[in-house]
Structure 1
Amino acid sequence: MKKLWMALALWGALAAQLHAQWKPVEGRISTQWSEQVNPDKVLSEYPRPIMERTEWKNLNGLWDYAIIEKGKHSPSVFDGKILVPFAVESSLSGVAKTVGAEKELVYRRSFDVPSSWKGKKVLLHFGAVDWKTDVWVNDVKVGSHTGGFTPFSFDITEALQGKNNTLLVKVWDPTDKGYQPRGKQVSRPEGIWYTPVTGIWQTVWLEPVSESYIQDLRITPDIDNSLLSLKALVKDATSKDLVEVKVFDGQQLVAQGKSINGECVQVAMPENTKLWSPESPFLYTLKVSLKQNGKLVDEVSSYAAMRKYSSKRDANGIVRLELNNKPLFQFGPLDQGWWPDGLYTAPTDEALLYDIQKTKDFGFNMIRKHIKVEPARWYTYCDKLGIIVWQDMPSGDRNPEWQNRKYFEGTEMKRSAESEACYRKEWKEIMDALYSYPCIGTWIPFNEAWGQFKTPEIVEWTKQYDPTRLVNPASGGNHYTCGDMLDLHNYPAPELYLYDAQRATVLGEYGGIGWVVQGHIWEPDRNWGYIQFNSSKEVTDEYVKYAEKLYDLIPRGFSAAVYTQTTDVEVEVNGLMTYDRKVIKLDEKRVREINRKLCESLNK
């Protein structure tokens, strides 16, 4: 008992020391979850629920950091401590400093490898790092990566030296001084443009695997033929590999299938297959096993949904979006996914879930994820709650020549070869990373002509690469007769000013009803919305008025709509909630009633 008390006292002293080394930088509003952030247990949930193994080690927490001149050697003395995985510019990082294109951010930490992992390969995973990343383990270069929104990993086995190891990460991010996809980050935030996000902003973790192991899963449902297809990408695949998939409804095994020679496993689903929808978001549990000569060498847990996204002309000749071969009016908010305390990163997993749950509570059935990609757990929550996701490609390469130009239909940006290659690489990586999530219903390669180029070619490639989803070519951008939708933007009220008889016509953005809630704003002035009011009732009345107008436009041709937006973001005050999520601005009951009316408008 005495040893137990001594151990508890030691742990308490260590925890106190960690807290003393870190605290959020004050000066801005914050969410209620900021107070729950614990530096010795930050974002401790398993980071990849779509493909889960039992063993792993979280490397989030306090790391050393330094900001150095670009191209210089890593420092021997560091500037202080940073809380990973919060971007260096954020309050929760404990730093809140700007790096800029002329400098680099360097991280360092020590780690040990559990003795139970002996004889295994060890993978080092990064959820996302913005933008160019170089990694060393024990002074051995283990890998590099470019891209600010997708996961990547390195096999670090040969660089390990016993239990005590040192990890060093160097990051360069030019923000709006480069051609890379960056979403809404700018060097000088204002209006609809926000604070830069540099460096690690998702979980860093270790995972032991066998010599041959499952690298990725590509899961494809086919409700028309009652088939579930699963392609397992196997590292160091051999002709001896056998992949086995078992499908469970709760604890009951309902279907299974096997394949060899790298073939896709095709599982015949039962006749009474349960379909996924916003009203009934049923998920099947999967066990995927890799066997060699009858011996189990790897096994992961996953999940899948039987659902289908398509479009079809209705009895009145209007092309409608369909879910599971039935028309569905898809309606949801524009969701930026920004946080006053964590910027790109939600303070806690509970916070990450909160915005999705409130979207469901408001009566929406869809979210347009606006020029940002979220952590894997965000998409799993959408899968579980029944929220369809329209996924934007984060825009980039907004050079001054393009930014100051007035655009007309048919006019596009000319990207450099380097810029175009970067776009194509990162768009493919985003699609690969998100392919297996049932919630993803629509891909959006471009937003409002921001960096739009070679639209028909990009759209055709997107549709061929993933024929199971719809493609919205350019939400509110230059309009080409390709893809599955014509997407209009109109602020503040809905207007049907163009119509496409061959594709679905959707309202990709409207609304933007603003209200400054004192005590819950990013800055004391400079706040704006597309239209502003002074009370919850006024904002709610205007919201309902727009929704009723939208309802009347559905028989005339609208098949989906997106309201701007889920929350206030920095100086934008047009959210359904304040930026700190502490005030719901509108009458939730009235909003839910009219939203449900819209979502159910085609279910007749």
Structure 2
Amino acid sequence: MSQWKPAGDKIKTEWGEKLDPENVWSEYPRPIIKRDNWLNLNGLWDFQMTEQGAARPMEYDRKILVPFPVESSLSGIMEQVGSGREVWYRRNFNIQPYWEGERILLNFGAVDWRTEVWINGIKIGSHEGGYDPFSFEITPFLKEGEQEVVVKVWDPTDEGPQPRGKQVRNPRGIWYTPVTGIWQTVWIEPVPAAYVDNLKIYPDIDHEVIKVQPFIKHVRYGDVFKVEIIEDGKVVGEAMAATGQDATVSLPNAHLWTPEDPYLYDMRISVISNSKVIDRIDSYVAMRKISRKKDERGIWRIQLNNKDIFQFGTLDQGWWPDGLYTAPSDEALKYDIEQTKKYGFNMIRKHVKVEPARWYMHCDQVGMLVWQDMPSGDRTHSWQNRNYYEGTELFRTPESERIFRNEWRAIMDYLQPYPSIVTWVPFNEGWGQFKTEYIAAFTKEYDPDRLVNAASGGNHFRVGDMLDLHNYPQPEMYMYDAERATVLGEYGGIGLVIDGHLWNADRNWGYIQYKTSKEATDKYVEYADMLAKMIEMGFSAAIYTQTTDVEMEVNGLMTYDRKVNKLNVERVRKANQSVIEVLSE
């Protein structure tokens, strides 16, 4: 298509090289609440950049490929924006005739950071937050014929206190290119008068039940809902409740979910008004339990389904050389998870970033435990990593606190139904860390189904379910907590430069670097052997840095373009299995 081509000359993934701009991210984006009727708005939009505060533009002089962020190659723009400018998107669409009489929702997977939306020239709403999905009902603002949607986005990157992860205006070392604007799927769907808007799912394997709480909008008094759990096309459990309540479904002798056997039940939820089904969504559930318990030696161990498990994973930052925050395709998104599995890991730590919903679905299906970080923001005040914190915590302004709390709650609401997520990580290495005891308690109370790793890597408090140590390059246990599970939240960082697969050939970085794959693999296996011995001393989980190279970092198991496995997959897999099996013996 002559109106679009990738910008710049940075390395590309194979999926980016094959990208068809007329068929971009065509999969339904919210698999936990799935409907058949929808309209994908990904593709080419009109694009304009203006000074902050300028009027809505009348003319748009460029095209951008949605959902790729402005600074990415695949957007076709690849320009930094900064806090002094705003970006504008525009496109037209048509409503299907058979949607008449339905409510019409305009949905955004994620937009970074402050979003304002117009339909047919009428401003209909705004949203703050770079990582959580949001929607607007646009029914009252539609007209006959073609519709117009305009989106404005402002993002201060590291000039603001908002959650932003590793985005900085001046990329260097472990800090990466900014991401502005729409970076996940945009879509429209019709829904009935009352409809399922969100879900919370609580499996309870000890009592052989699963509790389901759908959040249903625009209900009338007397409306009810029905939950059906389905196995091989047959309903094996069902329950009904009034809207606003939860429903408890009995599942005796349930098939439990594990990384080795990631069994998922289908689920159907129906909203019923005056004895008529007015909304029906397809979903899925897993029966699994994450907890911690002292072993016979008094060491706190993490358990899955009431059995000790050593969780061994990679630090996964979710960046792409061609799409930055946005994988070039759903196939690419799944590839990283499958490769991590092939390397023999059973867990992924999603590091200071939140992914599209389909990433978590793939983890559910492939069998990957997930530690989910809150994207960091604001600033670092101080960092202590070899003792319990003795300083004065960062003071955030009331506005900064409000932004953090709102987005953290929204992220947990968004991700709660996905069973692969087993741990919440609100803070990392003191980045924006504040009121740790309060945030840890809030997180645990808000989602008691999961563990809380209050402060990964430093500024430790005696709260949460874990004491999380970081040490580079080799594993080391320099602290131990008799009241929490002790984990190694980051280690490794073994660097290997692969020419022809570098983001920047002149500047690359790793904690230690080797010249051959054999040397790097030898060191990896050496560290794994060290780690295995430390499990007896008390480690209950470990995370290796990292899944892929990212920009100037060259310490990935794969190159940034995913074209080369840098370490020997079979040797790493064998070493990893030996580590995991220490607690399985």
Deviation at 1:406, TM superposition (A): 5.7
* Residue number among 20, 25, 30 corresponding to 1:38 in the alignment: 20
Q: Find the counterpart in structure 1 of residue 125 from structure 2.
A: 143
Q: Find the counterpart in structure 2 of residue 60 from structure 1.
A: 42
Distance across 2 between alignment mates of 1:350 and 1:296: 35
* Residue number among 292, 307, 313 corresponding to 1:311 in the alignment: 292
SS across alignment from 1:23 = coil
Q: Find the counterpart in structure 2 of residue 356 from structure 1.
A: 337
Distance across 1 between alignment mates of 2:470 and 2:232: 43
TM-score under structure 2 length normalisation:
0.98
**Aligned partner of 2:59: which letter?**
V
Confirm or deny that 1:442 pairs with 2:430. Answer: no
Residues 261, 343 of structure 1: alpha-carbon distance in 2 compared, 3 angstrom cutoff: closer
* Residue number among 513, 518, 524 corresponding to 1:537 in the alignment: 518
Q: Find the counterpart in structure 2 of residue 186 from structure 1.
A: 168
Confirm or deny that 1:246 pairs with 2:246. Answer: no
Deviation at 1:601, TM superposition (A): 1.5
**Aligned partner of 2:151: which letter?**
V
* Residue number among 436, 457, 469 corresponding to 1:488 in the alignment: 469
**Aligned partner of 2:575: which letter?**
I
Distance across 2 between alignment mates of 1:600 and 1:126: 42
Q: Deviations over 1:67-124 (max 9, x none)?
A: 1010111111113000000001000000101110000000000111111101111000
SS across alignment from 1:475 = coil
Confirm or deny that 1:112 pairs with 2:79. Answer: no
SS across alignment from 1:600 = helix
Deviation at 1:162, TM superposition (A): 2.0
Deviation at 1:238, TM superposition (A): 1.9
Deviation at 1:26, TM superposition (A): 3.0
Distance across 2 between alignment mates of 1:179 and 1:378: 27
Q: Find the counterpart in structure 2 of residue 15 from structure 1.
A: none
Confirm or deny that 1:156 pairs with 2:138. Answer: yes
Checking the alignment, whether the CA contact within 8 Å between 2:8 and 2:78 is kept in structure 1 is no
Distance across 1 between alignment mates of 2:493 and 2:361: 28
Distance across 2 between alignment mates of 1:125 and 1:172: 19
**Aligned partner of 2:300: which letter?**
V
* Residue number among 319, 323, 327 corresponding to 1:342 in the alignment: 323
Confirm or deny that 1:99 pairs with 2:106. Answer: no
Aligned length: 581
**Aligned partner of 1:298: which letter?**
D
Confirm or deny that 1:416 pairs with 2:397. Answer: yes
RMSD: 0.9
Distance across 2 between alignment mates of 1:282 and 1:214: 25
Distance across 2 between alignment mates of 1:368 and 1:482: 20
Deviation at 1:36, TM superposition (A): 2.2
| Percent of matched pairs sharing the same residue | 58
* Residue number among 356, 365, 374 corresponding to 2:355 in the alignment: 374
* Residue number among 186, 195, 217 corresponding to 2:199 in the alignment: 217
Checking the alignment, whether the CA contact within 8 Å between 2:225 and 2:243 is kept in structure 1 is no
Distance across 2 between alignment mates of 1:511 and 1:504: 21
Map of 1:3-18 to 2, 5 A cutoff? none
Distance across 2 between alignment mates of 1:445 and 1:262: 29
**Aligned partner of 2:169: which letter?**
S
* Residue number among 565, 569, 585 corresponding to 1:584 in the alignment: 565
Distance across 2 between alignment mates of 1:284 and 1:250: 9
Distance across 1 between alignment mates of 2:454 and 2:138: 40
* Residue number among 29, 52, 58 corresponding to 1:47 in the alignment: 29
Q: Deviations over 1:334-356 (max 9, x none)?
A: 00000000000000111000000
Checking the alignment, whether the CA contact within 8 Å between 2:225 and 2:242 is kept in structure 1 is yes
Distance across 2 between alignment mates of 1:494 and 1:34: 36
Q: Find the counterpart in structure 2 of residue 11 from structure 1.
A: none
Distance across 2 between alignment mates of 1:120 and 1:245: 23
Checking the alignment, whether the CA contact within 8 Å between 1:410 and 1:480 is kept in structure 2 is no
Deviation at 1:485, TM superposition (A): 0.3
Q: Find the counterpart in structure 2 of residue 511 from structure 1.
A: 492
Q: Find the counterpart in structure 2 of residue 299 from structure 1.
A: 280
Confirm or deny that 1:392 pairs with 2:361. Answer: no
**Aligned partner of 2:17: which letter?**
E
- Provide structure 1 residue ranges, at least 5 long, that are not aligned to the other structure: 1-18
* Residue number among 58, 61, 76 corresponding to 2:58 in the alignment: 76
Deviation at 1:38, TM superposition (A): 1.1
Distance across 2 between alignment mates of 1:242 and 1:36: 47
Checking the alignment, whether the CA contact within 8 Å between 2:343 and 2:573 is kept in structure 1 is yes
Residues 92, 355 of structure 1: alpha-carbon distance in 2 compared, 3 angstrom cutoff: same
Confirm or deny that 1:321 pairs with 2:302. Answer: yes
Distance across 1 between alignment mates of 2:4 and 2:504: 25
Please say which of residues 388-397 and 408-417 is displaced more in the overlay: 408-417
**Aligned partner of 1:590: which letter?**
R
Deviation at 1:140, TM superposition (A): 1.0
Deviation at 1:559, TM superposition (A): 0.4
Q: Deviations over 1:286-309 (max 9, x none)?
A: 010000011110000000000000
Q: Find the counterpart in structure 1 of residue 312 from structure 2.
A: 331
Q: Deviations over 1:232-275 (max 9, x none)?
A: 11111222211001111121211111011521011011x22100
Checking the alignment, whether the CA contact within 8 Å between 1:223 and 1:324 is kept in structure 2 is yes
Q: Deviations over 1:526-575 (max 9, x none)?
A: 20100000000000000000000000100001000000000000000000
SS across alignment from 1:436 = coil
